Amino acid sequence: MANTFNEKIRVSLSNPNLQVALDSNAERRLKARLQSYTSLPEDIQVLRRRAHAVRAETITHLDQHLETFIRHAQANGLIVHRARDVAGGAVDVAIEPELPEALAARARLYYVKQEYDRAIEYARKAIERKPDCEGAYTILGKGLFASDRWQEAAALVDRALEANGEDYNVYIPFGNVLRALGDETGALRLNNRLIAVLEHQLEMVPEDVRARILLAAMYAKANRGEAAVRELERAVAMRPNDSNTLYNAACTYGVLQMKPETLAMFRRSVEAGFGDLDLAARDSDLACIHGDPEFQKIIESHRPTA
């Protein structure tokens, strides 16, 4: 049956009349698509980049969006049941556990639970199946950094940028690793490349707050203090209660050695829900407040109790 079917396909595709009909159909569809683009309020490439930014932001802050959904669902009278483990909680993993995107999602969930070895394991599996899997190198870098496996992460920098260099999120953990290793030349190279990526992103999607606050941090590291504070203030004004925006604002002030502002913004970020206190305690951007008793007080008072 299969051989007969395949033979009919080959005969049909070699039919010159059918080929003309298919070509005409493809041309009509292309013209219709191009015509539909003209009815859009903005250029299609701008909209595509914006959609990509929304997707990337959602993936990056998946845990926060999930908590927001649960909060609103419960407020509307719904009963939310939580799975006891990561495997049971990830719908896409249950459907197709070996999909690269499913493996990367599982890696993100393990990272949120601070199970860094498992996060690294699943991020590597995702990359093995799809080298440019979105978000996989970002989680891999974050997991290796949090586990003090800095040399392993440093060896992956070029591959990570080759695979996901257009995604500004991938630069952050690997920049942290290079700075932790004292490789200021490598960190500066990443910083300059990231600035170009972020500036281009904001030209296309000016409302991308995460890109804006990261650009502020990169400007600070490039000794462009005035530009850094300008972008920081814009980002915080756009997302005054977003814990990650506030945390990155604190890091920017920290790089600029503005200690009172750093401490105040870090406190705001934690009060807004920033929970990666292990990262904060080792983040070199916050070095100016690491020895401050008030910083230690904030850390200890917000650690989850056993």
**Identical topology for domains 83-197 and 205-306:** yes
Q: How far apart are CA 141 and CA 175, in angstroms?
A: 9
Measured CA to CA, the distance from residue 12 to residue 21 in angstroms comes to 12
Question: What is 83-197's CATH number?
Answer: 1.25.40.10
Burial class (CB in 10 A: 0-12, 13-18, 19+), 126: buried
Cα–Cα distances (Å) from 168 to 19, 56, 83, 202, in that order, read 44, 10, 32, 11
pLDDT in tens, the chain (306 residues): 445 655 665 666 566 666 666 556 556 665 666 667 667 777 766 777 777 677 777 776 777 777 777 777 767 666 666 655 544 444 443 445 678 888 998 899 899 888 999 999 999 999 999 999 999 999 999 999 999 999 999 999 999 999 998 898 999 899 989 988 999 899 989 989 999 999 988 988 888 898 999 999 899 989 999 999 999 999 999 999 999 899 999 999 999 999 999 999 999 999 998 888 888 888 889 999 999 999 999 988 877 665
Residue 199's contacts (CB-CB under 8 Å, 6 or more residues apart) are 215
Using an 8 Å Cβ cutoff, are 218 and 255 in contact?
A: no
Q: What is the assigned CATH class of domain 205-306?
A: mainly alpha
For the chain, which residues make up each domain, given as ranges? 83-197, 205-306
How many CA atoms are closer than 13 Å to the CA of 40, on its beta-carbon side? 12
**C-alpha angle 158/160/165, rounded to 5°?**
95
